[in-house]
């Protein structure tokens, strides 16, 4: 029997590839897709998730979530994802039915009604998840685990200290990291190893199906944007690494550690302090990904793309 899964995201070019990977998963049933402000406004991320679902033939309903972080001013990333948050993917297809319920209400309702624990995959700022945990704390007992892309044991990518998803809503991340949920974190430490270049794009697009076209159309401008922003000749596809944790966990090495979120210093705002050596003596609250088998990772992405043939 398939395990229930909810994806919370801010598509986002790499979120789009993560969603594509899940579209034909044999082991997880995607109950719904919830969207949040992050890479772009929630109007765009909601619209993008709907267009992606329709394009990929994913039938799970798509919900519009929080438009602002809990406390801080909104941060978006058009320099990486374009003016729509998904530039390069121009298809305007839409699901037959468009949902009007707020993502957080749907999350709470769905989790409370779940007959078995639900896995949450989170590839954007954690606003919706934090809101659900505050609105109905008992949802926690219905969550199997939370697998997320975000954070870093070392450098940030949006400030010297913070990774984008954490920086975009540190207070929400703090609620999630102190919730007691079973957490799996794919941070920059591993996602910066998942590097896409022209050769990767040629390999993936050779499959000539909707998933291959999506990869091609998004990864070309994404590689250019990453090169402009970071001077990187190859672009890290962050969010798909979190999907790899679900689909092929043996590709990733984890280390359990205590992770706290900086919500109180200016320079460190949004930083994930990862207690690798347990210097604090605090109980680990997270399985942090510390290494990735990159060859296996790209084989997995190609395998998922081939399913759309």
Catalytic residues: 10
Given candidates 39, 48, 127, 247, which one binds ligand BDR under the rule CB under 6 A? 39
Q: At what angle do helices 13-22 and 42-56 cross, to 10 degrees?
A: 40
Strand 195-196, strand 62-64: pairing: unpaired
- Comparing C-alpha atoms, which of 135, 85, 87 is closest to residue 107? 135
Does residue 15 belong to the site contacting ligand BDR (CB under 6 A)?
yes
Cβ of 195: how many Cβ atoms within 10 Å? 18
Closer CB to ligand BDR, residue 48 or residue 110? 48
Phi first, then psi: give them for residue 5, nearest 5 degrees.
Answer: -140, 140
The verdict on 14 binding ligand BDR (CB under 6 A) reads yes
Q: In this chain, which residue has its C-beta nearest to ligand BDR?
A: 164
CA–CA separation, 274 and 109 (whole Å): 33
Conformational region of residue 219, where left means phi above 0, alpha means psi within -120 to 50, and beta covers everything else: alpha
Identify which of residues 9 and 108 has a Cβ nearer to ligand BDR in the complex. 9
Q: Choose among ligand BDR, Ca ion, none what residue 169 binds, the Cβ cut-off being 5 to 8 Å by kind.
A: none
Burial (CB count within 10 angstroms: exposed 0-12, middle 13-18, buried 19+), residue 90 = exposed
Among 28, 55, 164, 177, binds ligand BDR (CB under 6 A): 164
In the range 98-157, which residues lie near ligand BDR by CB under 6 A?
123-124, 149, 157
**Chain residues 67-86 in contact with ligand BDR, contact rule CB under 6 A:** 77, 80
Which residues contact Ca ion by CB under 5 A? 10, 12, 15, 123-124, 239
Distances, alpha carbon 106 to alpha carbons 95, 99, 101, 175, in Å: 18, 10, 7, 19
- Report in angstroms how near the CB of residue 65 gets to Ca ion at its nearest: 13
Answer yes or no whether residue 239 interacts with ligand BDR by CB under 6 A: yes
Which residues are near ligand BDR by CB under 6 A? 12, 14-15, 39, 77, 80, 123-124, 149, 157, 163-165, 238-239
């Amino acid at each position: 029997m398939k395990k229930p899964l909810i994806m919370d995201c801010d598509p986002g070019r790499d979120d789009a590839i993560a969603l594509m990977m899940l579209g034909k998963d044999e082991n997880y049933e995607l109950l719904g897709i919830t969207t949040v402000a992050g890479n772009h406004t929630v109007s765009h991320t909601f619209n993008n998730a709907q267009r992606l679902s329709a394009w990929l033939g994913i039938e799970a309903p798509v919900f519009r979530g929080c438009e602002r972080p809990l406390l801080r001013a909104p941060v978006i990333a058009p320099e990486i994802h374009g003016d729509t948050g998904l530039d390069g993917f121009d298809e305007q297809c839409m699901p037959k039915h468009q949902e009007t319920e707020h993502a957080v209400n749907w999350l709470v309702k769905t989790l409370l009604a779940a007959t078995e624990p639900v896995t949450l995959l989170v590839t954007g700022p954690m606003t919706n998840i934090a809101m659900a945990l505050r609105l109905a704390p008992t949802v926690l007992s219905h969550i199997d685990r939370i697998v997320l892309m975000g954070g870093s044991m070392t450098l940030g990518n949006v400030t010297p200290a913070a990774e984008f998803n954490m920086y975009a809503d540190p207070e929400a991340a703090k609620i999630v990291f102190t919730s007691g949920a079973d957490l799996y974190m794919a941070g920059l430490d591993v996602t910066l190893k998942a590097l896409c270049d022209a050769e990767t794009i040629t390999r993936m697009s050779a499959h000539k199906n909707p998933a291959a076209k999506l990869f091609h159309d998004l990864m070309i401008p994404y590689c250019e944007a990453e090169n402009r922003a970071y001077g990187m000749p190859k672009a890290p596809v962050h969010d798909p690494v979190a999907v790899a944790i679900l689909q092929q966990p043996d590709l990733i090495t984890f280390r359990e550690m205590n992770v706290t979120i900086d919500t109180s210093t200016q320079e460190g705002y949004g930083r994930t302090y990862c207690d690798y050596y347990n210097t604090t003596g605090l109980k680990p609250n997270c399985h942090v990904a510390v290494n990735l088998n990159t060859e296996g990772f790209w084989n997995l992405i190609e395998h998922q793309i081939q399913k759309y043939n």
